[in-house]
Chain A
Amino acid sequence: MRRLSLMLAAAALSTGTAHAAPACDLALGQAVFVAKCATCHALDAHQVGPRLGGLLGRPAGKAKGFSFTDAMASAGFRWDVERLSAFLGDPQAYVPGTSMAFRGVSAPQEREALVCFFKHH
């Protein structure tokens, strides 16, 4: 029984999809996305920055049709909740050399809500 619950927990962590998402502030997340991210990003197409729909689970710096900086292209990880939250807190510290000119979302509640938004889009 204990083993099963551990497996389930691991599965939830590794997928990080909408289905595994806990209740979170989607409306606030959307507001933060629109106010901050949408300057350079859209969900369904590359803009100044890469397409962000379905970000969680994707490998960093590898979206087809978008030219990433070497720093992001060689990041060598997949976006999960933890990494995305850390990146959004201070993008240039998390991936030094990224060309994303954004200092990050420092307010924990807003950052959590933004990650929540990505879980659902």
Chain B
Amino acid sequence: MNTNSNGTGRRSFLRTAGVGAVGAAAVAVGASEATAKAPARCGAGGGCDYDVVVIGGGFAGVTAARDSRRNGYKTLILEARNRLGGRTFTSRFAGHRIDLGGTWIHWSQPYVWAEKERYGLEVTETPEGLDVSAETIVLAHGGQRKGLAAEEMVPLAEAFEMYFADARQLWARPFDARFTWNALLQHDGLSALDRLNQLPLAQPQRAALEGYIATMGHGSLRDISYNETLRYWALCGWNFQGTNEALGRYVFKQGTVSLIDAMVADGTPEVRLSTAVRKIEDQGRRAVITTQKGERTTARAVIVTVPMNVLPGIAFDPPLDPRVVEAGREKHAGTGAKVFMKTRGRFDGPGKVMGLGDAGNTFSIAFTYAKGADHAIYVGFVPDPGKVDLQDRQAMQQALRTYIPDAVVEECLAYEWTLDPFSQGTWASYKPHWYGKYLDHFGKDSGRIVFGQGDHGDGWRGAIDGAISSGARAAERVRKKLGSA
């Protein structure tokens, strides 16, 4: 968070930008050498190049590859971008380390927290040293802005209790949709907006819920499934405080890339960057992977970890389940953006400002992300990036002033995951009707092709934690399939 301690001045920054990518790529080269020395084990299996080829080098893929290496398999990651990390991307902005994609972790997220502990990685608060008791909440609705006193929080808390009232019934076990399957199916068609419309809410209550839930699902309230919002609430302990802290308080001190690096250094899989995949075939005795540039690689098993929205762009033989292709083309609800803004002037005090507001605002939520000597960094969540220019600091200043009236935005930055052909969206939130339509179809292995996508699976799917768990479970199924190496 601190800018000057590591000597990253403006001039050197021009030359060594993209710190996240540099770290990951450097490890990948070393890993590649380590793997080359390991014995090739798949000769007996029919002359394969690798035991396991992992498609996609985000948290799901890196976990699947790390675990496959630990299981003794010769393993390769094929990654389309010129960096590992997928929808996480540690970079720098205005002298601060930031994460442009997935960011926050918490001990209620069991897989990622276990990895943090395993590798001894540190976390810090957003902003660093945050005193939650000094947090100021600003609510914007109907063109008005209001800082909330403690007693004004009570009706808002009641509104959240109202919206999430059935969460215990629908998600008695948030890692096990089958346990309450019938109840979930009954509510499957309901969007977050439908649910809001059912409730007798006062305007401020409605505004607070709109802002919070549009951020949770990172998209339009119409597109976000009600069931999905209740899943998060249940995972976080069925209360506002828990949800707030699990979703937006703790970050890796050295960025998400520090965990990617640790996992790659531990597992030493071979890594090929800038290698998009065109086709994956299961030929019975082996799987064949063909890259966009036409190179072919053979493997005893393939673990597919690419985002669900990207999957239809890869040819499969035998073909993918048509429902999976249909869902990928329809795309999940996560279509928003996260904008970083540097504002002029020091943020005094131990707390932060958190603004939330109704669907009429550009930012559904915006809050203090970091504090500098003469500036502050704010992060704003934009559920509908189509209606505003995220790269225009004037537009972002105007949007931030909804919550911080005197803010002067000097710089702004958003990584537009929806424009990135290798993600085509942000974190996955299912849409209404998807449980009945698609849940049985997602993540179903077929022969030598195993699915470990972070968008799917139980628990924290869509989050870093869900990616790690999906990758780990896929690697475990491959171990059972291939037997001991």
Any B CB within 8 A of the CB of A118: no
Q: Which residues of A contact B419 (CB under 8 A)?
A: 92, 101-103
Name the segment of B10-18, B262-270, B473-481 touching the other chain. B10-18
Q: Are A103 and B17 in contact (CB under 8 A)?
A: no
* Most chain B CB atoms below 10 A, which of A33, A47, A70: A47
Name the segment of B137-145, B202-210, B319-327, B385-393 touching the other chain. B385-393
Beyond A103-B390, A106-B389, is A36–B14 a contact (Cβ under 8 Å)? no
Q: Are A33 and B18 in contact (CB under 8 A)?
A: no
Residues 74 to 113 of chain A near chain B (Cβ within 8 Å): 92, 97, 99, 101-107
Q: Which residues of A contact B275 (CB under 8 A)?
A: 67
Any B CB within 8 A of the CB of A6: no
Beyond A46-B82, A48-B82, is A40–B18 a contact (Cβ under 8 Å)? yes
Q: Are A35 and B390 in contact (CB under 8 A)?
A: no
Q: Are A101 and B18 in contact (CB under 8 A)?
A: no
Q: Which residues of A contact B273 (CB under 8 A)?
A: 67
Any B CB within 8 A of the CB of A16: no
Residue of B nearest to A92 (CB): B419
Q: Which residues of B contact A103 (CB under 8 A)?
A: 389-391, 416, 419
Any A CB within 8 A of the CB of B412: yes
Any A CB within 8 A of the CB of B420: yes
Dominant SS at the B interface?
loop
What per-residue 1/0 map shows which CB atoms of B60-88 lie under 8 Å from chain A? 00000000000000000000111100000
Q: Which residues of B contact A34 (CB under 8 A)?
A: 10, 13-14, 411
Number of chain B residues close to chain A: CB under 8 A:
39
Residues 12 to 37 of chain B near chain A (Cβ within 8 Å): 13-18, 21-22
Any A CB within 8 A of the CB of B435: no
Q: Which residues of B contact A26 (CB under 8 A)?
A: none
Residue of A nearest to B412 (CB): A35
Q: Are A48 and B420 in contact (CB under 8 A)?
A: no
Any B CB within 8 A of the CB of A31: yes
What per-residue 1/0 map shows which CB atoms of A27-40 lie under 8 Å from chain B? 00011011111111
- Interface residue from B81, B293, B417, B421 paired with A48 (Cβ < 8 Å): B81
Beyond A41-B18, A47-B17, A47-B18, is A36–B82 a contact (Cβ under 8 Å)? no
Q: Are A35 and B91 in contact (CB under 8 A)?
A: no
Q: Are A38 and B13 in contact (CB under 8 A)?
A: yes
CA distance A31 to B10 in the complex (A): 10
- Interface residue from A99, A104, A107 paired with B421 (Cβ < 8 Å): A99
Q: How far is the CB of A67 from chain B (nearest CB, A)?
A: 4
Q: Are A42 and B392 in contact (CB under 8 A)?
A: no
* Most chain B CB atoms below 10 A, which of A39, A49, A69: A39
Q: Are A39 and B91 in contact (CB under 8 A)?
A: yes
Q: Which residues of B contact A31 (CB under 8 A)?
A: 411
Q: Are A47 and B21 in contact (CB under 8 A)?
A: yes
Q: How far is the CB of B374 from chain A (nearest CB, A)?
A: 16
Q: How far is the CB of A71 from chain B (nearest CB, A)?
A: 9
Q: Are A48 and B18 in contact (CB under 8 A)?
A: yes
Q: Which residues of A contact B93 (CB under 8 A)?
A: 35, 39
Q: Which residues of B contact A60 (CB under 8 A)?
A: none
Q: How far is the CB of B23 from chain A (nearest CB, A)?
A: 11
- Interface residue from A36, A70, A107 paired with B413 (Cβ < 8 Å): A36
Q: Which residues of A contact B81 (CB under 8 A)?
A: 48, 99
Q: How far is the CB of B382 from chain A (nearest CB, A)?
A: 12
Any B CB within 8 A of the CB of A43: yes
Q: Which residues of A contact B14 (CB under 8 A)?
A: 30, 33-34, 38, 42-43
Residue of A nearest to B16 (CB): A42
Q: How far is the CB of A36 from chain B (nearest CB, A)?
A: 6
Any B CB within 8 A of the CB of A45: yes
CA distance A35 to B82 in the complex (A): 20
Q: Are B100 and A39 in contact (CB under 8 A)?
A: yes
Beyond A36-B413, A42-B16, is A99–B21 a contact (Cβ under 8 Å)? no
CA distance A53 to B72 in the complex (A): 43
Q: Which residues of B contact A105 (CB under 8 A)?
A: 391
Any A CB within 8 A of the CB of B50: no
Q: How far is the CB of B274 from chain A (nearest CB, A)?
A: 4
- 8 A-B residue contacts at CB 8 Å? A33-B14, A39-B18, A39-B413, A47-B82, A48-B81, A92-B419, A103-B416, A107-B392
Apart from A37-B17, A103-B389, what are 15 other A-B pairs with CB-CB below 8 Å? A34-B411, A38-B14, A38-B17, A39-B92, A40-B21, A41-B17, A45-B15, A49-B82, A67-B82, A70-B292, A101-B416, A103-B419, A106-B389, A106-B392, A107-B394
Residues of A within 8 A of B (CB): 30-31, 33-49, 66-67, 69-70, 92, 97, 99, 101-107
